[in-house]
Amino acid sequence: MKRLSAIILAAALLLSFTACSPQQDSKSEKTEKNSKETIFQVALLQSLTQGYYDGIIEVSELKKHGDIGIGTFEGVNGEMIVLDGTVYQALGDGSVQKASDKETVPFSNVTFFDSDVKETVSGIKDINALKDTLDKTVEKNGKNMFCFVKISGEFKKMNVRSELKQEKPYKSLDKALATDQREFNYDNIKGTVVALYCPDYMDGLNTPGWHFHFISDDKTKGGHILELAFDSAQAEFDITPEFDMCLSDNKDFQKMELAKDVSGAINKVETNDD
Ligand SMILES: [Zn+2]
């Protein structure tokens, strides 16, 4: 039933798939034309979770599909935050650098940010409270659409993680994070949360609900958010009805069993919960 509804919604939401080898760029004209209202996704969270960390497209190509986003880099070499057209790499040592255009990307979601709804979000004591608050706005605007949210302000508490670059043969993401995750805790830090909301039918391709990354205003600190708290911040929502996905034609990628249920592992790597 879930699978069927996903297919129907996928058709209605103009989902499209393409392989991302550089020679197959005949589609880029269409993608660029539509990209203001398109979530562009590189591979699947499921392929990343199973340990497919090879880059599929270059950062230079990713930037053609959006100016805001989240993701990671080849070998899970840090967390990606795309903000105002710049791709930042929050590394496992806690530093942040601008990603090179030649760096490659095994998983990411980007779009061109277009503010549809603005609101002040107040009194957020933890990440679940933020999810509940953002859910209300998403439900008002259509819970079956995608949504990027930009939340700017001063955060009383910001707990982020990144990870050390992995070498081949790659382990699954939960095993890699078990030893190589690094956490950083900041107090009273100014910056921006970049959040992606995926509808609940996306559990075969990504993770339903919210995924949060952070970058500080001075662009020196950032990562994947595990916990946060803040008194008040400005949230801007970009409601997005189209979805475009690129896949690898690499034979190792093609051998993967991507319908395998890795939702438990995804929950573990996304939230730090056991
Ligand atoms: Zn993340």
Distance from the alpha carbon of residue 211 to the mean position of ligand 1, in angstroms: 6
For residue 22, name the pLDDT band (cuts at 50, 70, 90).
Answer: low
Distance from the alpha carbon of residue 226 to the mean position of ligand 1, in angstroms: 9
pLDDT confidence of residue 13: 55
Selected residue with higher pLDDT from 113 and 11: 113
> Residue 30 pLDDT more than 80?
no
Distance from the alpha carbon of residue 269 to the mean position of ligand 1, in angstroms: 9
Do 59 and 85 contact (CB within 8 A), yes or no?
Answer: no
pLDDT confidence of residue 171: 96
Mean pLDDT across the chain, nearest whole number? 90
Using DSSP bridges, classify how beta strands 242-247 and 38-42 pair: parallel, antiparallel or unpaired: parallel
pLDDT confidence of residue 16: 76
Distance CA 15, CA 32 (A): 15
Distance from the alpha carbon of residue 26 to the mean position of ligand 1, in angstroms: 30
* Domains contained in the chain, CATH given: 2-111 (3.30.1330.80), 117-240 (3.30.1330.80)
Distance from the alpha carbon of residue 45 to the mean position of ligand 1, in angstroms: 10
Mean pLDDT, residues 57-80: 98
Retrieve residue 217's tokens: 């205003």
For residue 244, name the pLDDT band (cuts at 50, 70, 90).
Answer: very high
Q: Which residue has the tokens 């939401």?
A: 13
Selected residue with higher pLDDT from 262 and 210: 210
Distance from the alpha carbon of residue 224 to the mean position of ligand 1, in angstroms: 4
pLDDT confidence of residue 21: 60
C-alpha 95 chain-centroid distance: 19
pLDDT confidence of residue 265: 87
Find the range with the poorest average confidence among 29-33, 116-120, 165-169. Answer: 29-33
Mean pLDDT, residues 220-231: 98
pLDDT confidence of residue 190: 98
Distance from the alpha carbon of residue 57 to the mean position of ligand 1, in angstroms: 18
Mean pLDDT, residues 57-83: 98
Selected residue with higher pLDDT from 2 and 240: 240
Distance from the alpha carbon of residue 242 to the mean position of ligand 1, in angstroms: 21
Annotate the chain with three-state secondary structure: CHHHHHHHHHHHCCEEEEECCCCCCCCHHHHHHHHHHEEEEECCHHHHHCCCCCCCEEHHHHHHHCCEEEEECHHHCCEEEEECCEEEEECCCCCEEECCCCCEECEEEEECCCCCEEEEEEEECCHHHHHHHHHHHHHHHCCCCEEEEEEEEEEEEEEEEEECCCCCCCCCHHHHHHHHEEEEEEEEEEEEEEEEEECHHHCCCCCCEEEEEEEECCCCCEEEEEEEEEEEEEEEEEEECEEEEEECCCHHHHHCCCCCCCHHHHHHHHHCCC
Mean pLDDT, residues 240-248: 96
Distance from the alpha carbon of residue 82 to the mean position of ligand 1, in angstroms: 12
pLDDT confidence of residue 242: 95
Instruction: Specify whether the backbone of 26 is left (phi greater than 0), alpha (psi in -120 to 50) or beta.
Output: alpha
> Residue 4 pLDDT more than 50?
no
Mean pLDDT, residues 175-182: 96
Read off the pLDDT of residues 84-98 as tens digits, 9 standing for 90 and up. Answer: 999 999 999 999 999
Distance from the alpha carbon of residue 159 to the mean position of ligand 1, in angstroms: 12
The proportion of the chain whose per-residue pLDDT surpasses 70, expressed as a percent, equals 88
Distance from the alpha carbon of residue 78 to the mean position of ligand 1, in angstroms: 9
For residue 23, name the pLDDT band (cuts at 50, 70, 90).
Answer: very low
pTM above 0.85, yes or no: yes
Mean pLDDT, residues 166-173: 96
Question: Which whole-number Å values give the CA distances from 119 to 139, 151, 155, 192, in the listed order?
Answer: 14, 10, 17, 15
Distance from the alpha carbon of residue 214 to the mean position of ligand 1, in angstroms: 9
